[in-house]
């Protein structure tokens, strides 16, 4: 990207061309532009907010996922290694927990359960539970990765080696 700076020489203005990307200090960053979100202190609330929006927890600008649930290995904006945060079973457990409380618990409280046949109830409830779980899973997985970013959980490379006696 080239910016032009005007300077006055003997009463006339000339355009002096300078390159803005002369000395990059971070991949994807310019020398004259400040880092966007990398200087913000790590907090759990910040990580959760950025994760729920499915953005990079480090800069809040890059995308966290390549598709539906595949985590991008590195952020395209700040270069943060998002692939090191293990999101194994935690998002699935929390999704089941949330869907169970939002869908199944109210359904159990209604008298519909006693009045309808079990097959009709399953035909009604299973699609609602499946759609709710599939809709919530990317947001909860993003929040999980944001939480791991905030607390510094980064997989086996950040865990201390066991000490032998």
- CA 122 to chain CA centroid, nearest Å: 34
* Cα–Cα distance for residue pair 12/116, rounded to 1 Å: 86
Asked whether residue 158 carries a pLDDT value surpassing 60, the answer given is no
Would strands 2-9 and 12-19 be described as parallel, antiparallel, or unpaired? antiparallel
Q: What is the pLDDT of residues 83-120, one digit of tens each?
A: 899 888 999 999 999 999 998 888 888 887 778 888 98
Q: Mean pLDDT across the stretch 132-145?
A: 96
Q: What is the pLDDT of residue 127?
A: 94
Q: What is the pLDDT of residue 156?
A: 58
Q: What is the pLDDT of residues 23-59, one digit of tens each?
A: 344 444 444 344 444 445 788 999 999 999 999 999 9
The answer to whether the beta carbons of residues 139 and 132 sit under 8 Å apart is no
Asked whether residue 6 carries a pLDDT value surpassing 90, the answer given is no
Q: What is the pLDDT of residue 114?
A: 79
Asked whether residue 128 carries a pLDDT value surpassing 50, the answer given is yes
Q: What is the pLDDT of residue 23?
A: 39
């Amino acid at each position: 990207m080239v910016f032009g700076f005007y300077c006055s020489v003997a009463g006339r203005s000339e355009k002096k061309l300078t390159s803005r990307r002369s000395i990059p200090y971070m991949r994807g960053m310019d020398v004259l532009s400040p880092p966007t979100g990398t200087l913000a202190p790590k907090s759990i609330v910040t990580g959760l907010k950025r994760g729920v929006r499915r953005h990079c927890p480090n800069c809040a600008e890059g995308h966290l996922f390549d598709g539906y649930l595949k985590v991008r290995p590195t952020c395209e904006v700040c270069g943060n290694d998002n692939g090191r945060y293990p999101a194994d079973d935690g998002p699935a457990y929390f999704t089941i927990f949330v869907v169970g409380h939002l869908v199944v618990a109210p359904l159990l409280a209604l008298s519909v359960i006693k009045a309808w046949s079990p097959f009709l109830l399953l035909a009604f409830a299973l699609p609602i539970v499946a759609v709710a779980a599939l809709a919530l899973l990317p947001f909860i997985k993003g929040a999980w990765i944001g939480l791991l970013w905030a607390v510094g959980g980064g997989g086996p490379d950040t865990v201390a080696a066991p000490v032998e006696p």
